[in-house]
Amino acid sequence: MKRRGMLLVIVMVCLLLAGCSNSPSTTAATNANKAAEPAKKEILVSAAASLKNPMTEIEKVYEEKNTGINLTFNFNSSGSLQTQIEQGAPADIFLSAGKSQMDALEQKNLLASGTRSDFAANDLVLVVGEKNTSIKSFQDLTKADKISIGTPESVPAGKYAQEALTKMKLWDSLKPKMVLAKDVTQVLTYVESENVQAGIVYGSDAHESKKVRVVATAPADSHSPIVYPGSVIASSKNQTEAKAFLQFINSPEGQAILVKYGFKANK
């Protein structure tokens, strides 16, 4: 009987302790610890569409190294992003595929002083579909029915394409054949789907597509230098964190990722 009584007491004590472990004070302490964890800072990055692939990898690498940062990207044509920033759209960083768009924001004092830098460069190439064998050079574009480039007024690659074709004395004759696209990604889609016979894009874009072939590279002196400038936006409330991310893009590790995707490293 004594052994049974002792066993009963032990069981009751265990049940009491189990109940205490789930007491309101313990739950409250757990919740308090969670609440004490610092919230991640969200950095908004407006980036040119041609940067999507490398930036997706850079985002993953950077967030693993900086657990308190959450990067959010807005990919679009550089011209569209410029307009968005001018109209007050939230952005901490602007990564442009063209100098003129960044210049326009700088002239309006919309960039944080001393944060602008060129972080990458690129080539301008002529691409055709896998099965297209009739176009082997820029001069062969006279044989094409339709050619796609980005809209020169808003897509830097389109502006460079217009400059190159003008230098080659082909622009006037090819202009009626042009199918203008909202960004370089759309140009690639037109070529891949064979809606056009050829397109002019960045070397990095062609590098990522398995459905197009590069048949020619525009001479460097046929267009303005293709550089990618980046800057912190003056209205950003996360200036320190934004500067740190730009520094990472310009670091050897960030540059290696850009080169991996067909870009040229900054000078």
CA neighbor of 245 nearest in space, from 158, 39, 236:
236
For residues 243-261, give the mean pLDDT.
97
55 pLDDT higher than 70: yes
User: Which of the residue ranges 17-31, 82-96, 106-120, 152-166 would you say has the lowest mean pLDDT?
Assistant: 17-31
For residues 5-33, give the mean pLDDT.
51
Question: Two tokens at 108?
Answer: 């309006």
For residues 22-28, give the mean pLDDT.
50
In the block, tokens 């062969």 appear at 140
Q: Under a CB-based contact definition with an 8 Å cutoff, are residues 144 and 213 in contact?
A: no
Which pLDDT band holds residue 11 (cuts at 50, 70, 90)? Answer: very low
Residues contacting 5, CB < 8 A, separation 6+: none
Q: Where are the alpha helices (DSSP H) in the chain?
A: 2-21, 24-36, 52-65, 78-86, 99-107, 156-167, 171-174, 184-192, 203-208, 239-249, 252-260
Sign of CA dihedral 215, 217, 222, 223: positive
Instruction: Collapse the DSSP code of 147 into the 3-class scheme (helix H, G, I; strand E, B; otherwise coil) and give the result.
Output: strand
20 pLDDT higher than 50: no
For residues 46-67, give the mean pLDDT.
97
12 pLDDT higher than 70: no
